Amino acid sequence: MDIHKIYHLPNDVRTVFAAWVSSDTVIAPAAKMYVEPRIGGAYHLFMNAEDSTPSNAGTFSIFQPEHRVVYDWEWYGDGEVTTIDVTFTAEGSGTRIDLTHSGFRHQKSHDMHDSGWDSYIAGLKAHLAG
């Protein structure tokens, strides 16, 4: 099961890419991020919850500045390791994001991530506008 999404942001590619791979880009409901933007670099997102601090972690396998990133994604050690592949393309003065999130084994996880990406992009747009 894969998720394929295309988004259009009004910001230039350099700005969008920099925000995507920055530890400073914390989009709710995330509480903090740790990103090492390079091949082999870590990606770690932390969420706040009342009884724990769930998180996800991954590693960049492809890192092409201002063009493409590919990284794996495992949510809170659930054993379902998926792959996120994102391409950034200049589109006028804005950016087109082509996103594929693949490798889901469970429909519930697929569906949660499918809506989660829409929410994340909305938060990214607000972050970049602020």
What single letter denotes the amino acid at residue 18? A
Whole-prediction pTM value?
0.93
pLDDT band, residue 76 (cuts 50/70/90) = confident
Q: What does the pLDDT look like over 9-66, one tens digit per residue?
A: 999 999 999 999 999 999 988 899 999 999 999 999 998 766 666 888 999 999 999 9
Rounded CA separation 103/124 (Å): 24
**For helices 13-20 and 107-129, angle between their N-to-C axes, nearest 10 degrees:** 120
- Termini Cα distance of the chain: 35
Helix (H) / strand (E) element for 83: namely: strand 81-91
What residues contact residue 108 under an 8 Å CB cut-off, 6+ apart?
none
Tokens 């230039």 correspond to: 12
